[in-house]
Amino acid sequence: MGMEKSYEIKDDQNIELLKQLHILTRDGKLNQDSRRKLKQIYHLVNFIQPIITKYHDRSFTLVDHGAGKSYLGFILFDLIVKNTLGSIIGVEINEDLVNKSQLLMERFNFNNMQFISQEIAKSSEIISKADIVTALHACDTATDDAMSFAFEKNADWIVLVPCCQAEIYRGLKTIKPSQASNHWVELYRHGIHSREFGSHLTNVLRCLKLESLGYKVTVTELVGWEHSMKNELIIAENIKQKNTKSYDRMKKIISDLGLEKLQFRFL
Ligand SMILES: C[S@@+](CC[C@H](N)C(=O)[O-])C[C@H]1O[C@@H](n2cnc3c(N)ncnc32)[C@H](O)[C@@H]1O
């Protein structure tokens, strides 16, 4: 019996792949959660497609850090990368997820895909080359590890959708508001404000770090707020122009806020 395709699914999308990824139910239906997930992935694919197009007939390696079930990698591969000279490597700490992705990759003969069970921070030893680095909702500082990896590989493009961020929040919490030397402490004196401000500040410092290391940064929204609270999309292109002003500002923000203990992360 023919399945009625949802209007949200792209025409050239492999339906069986979506079923195997449990985005579609066995009878081809899309539930609320999967619809949200698929919308996010498609939106991200739309941002990544023009980047991949730049490689024309050249080979390239896209490394997806904190790949999870590799929704992004599989959908990107199926819709775009399989028709190019590119390959995708998914890095994921959870071995079980890596094994499942491996099986799926073999089932669909996606030969230019590879999955590695490894911490992002150590993956640089195994992966020799990365032209495009992605990290979608990689937990907490895993996004920073993905950035360090990309810098080490001198990646052309870095695409990040950061997740929960607690490191700066914890750093801010160690400074007693009564001891803070300036009025900016009011930005994060209350618990909910320090979480939000910590998260915002983390991404601001990440952008400054990207610029200071030679990347041009675009920050935009992945999907509307109604869909996800973690929807900041950071796209960085390696234009190889180190920005000293960004570096100086990053340094000043860190010292003004008394976060020197965390400067190893950014400076
Ligand atoms: C919230 S999930 C996101 C998965 C996927 N990128 C997505 O958006 O569907 C985060 C994934 O990152 C993995 N992860 C977190 N920290 C990691 C690290 N340091 N190294 C490798 N994988 C990590 C987790 O095991 C988890 O599967």
**Which residues on adjacent β-strands are paired with residue 65?**
91, 135
pLDDT number for residue 185: 86
Tokens of 212: 């200071």
Q: Is 215 exposed, middle or buried (0-12, 13-18, 19+ CB in 10 A)?
A: buried
Q: Do the domain assignments include residue 61?
A: yes
Q: How far is the CA of 66 from the centre of ligand 1 (A)?
A: 3
**Cα 88 to Cα 115: distance, rounded to the nearest angstrom:** 8
Tokens of 57: 């007939």
Q: Are residues 153 and 188 in the same domain?
A: no
Tokens of 207: 């952008």
**CATH number of the domain within which 8 lies:** 3.40.50.150
Q: Do the domain assignments include residue 22?
A: yes
Name the amino acid, one letter, at 243. N
Q: Are residues 18 and 133 in the same domain?
A: yes
DSSP reduced 3-state for 232: strand
Tell me: pLDDT of 240 over 70.
yes
Predicted confidence band of residue 231 (pLDDT cuts 50, 70, 90): confident
Residue reference for tokens 């996004």: 143
Within 10-54, strands assigned E span none
Q: Do the domain assignments include residue 219?
A: no
Single out the residue in 163, 191, 206 at which a domain terminates: 163
Give the number of domains in the chain.
2
pLDDT digits (tens, 9 = 90+) for 216-228: 999 998 875 555 5
Ligand 1 binding residues, C-beta < 6 A: 66-68, 71, 91-94, 97, 119-120, 136-139, 142, 145, 163
Closest C-alpha among 75, 57, 67, 113 to residue 94: 67
Q: Are residues 152 and 136 in the same domain?
A: yes
Q: Which of 48, 92, 117, 147 to mutate to test the pocket of ligand 1 (most atoms within 8 A of CB)?
A: 92
Structural domain harbouring 46? 1-163
Q: How far is the CA of 181 from the centre of ligand 1 (A)?
A: 38
Tokens of 175: 């400074």
Q: Are residues 202 and 77 in the same domain?
A: no
Q: Do the domain assignments include residue 15?
A: yes
Predicted confidence band of residue 2 (pLDDT cuts 50, 70, 90): very low
Q: Which DSSP helix (H) or strand (E) runs through 86?
A: none
pLDDT number for residue 33: 85
Single out the residue in 163, 179, 196 at which a domain terminates: 163
Q: Are residues 132 and 264 in the same domain?
A: no
pLDDT digits (tens, 9 = 90+) for 94-137: 999 999 999 999 999 999 999 999 999 999 999 999 999 999 99
Q: Are residues 152 and 169 in the same domain?
A: no
Predicted confidence band of residue 4 (pLDDT cuts 50, 70, 90): very low
pLDDT digits (tens, 9 = 90+) for 23-35: 999 888 888 888 8
- The angle formed by the CA atoms of residues 92, 98 and 103, to the nearest 5 degrees, is 155
Lowest mean pLDDT among 12-21, 93-102, 228-237, 241-250: 228-237
Which is more confident, 258 or 233?
233
Q: How far is the CA of 250 from the centre of ligand 1 (A)?
A: 27
Tell me: pLDDT of 1 over 70.
no
pLDDT digits (tens, 9 = 90+) for 170-195: 888 887 766 666 788 888 889 899 99
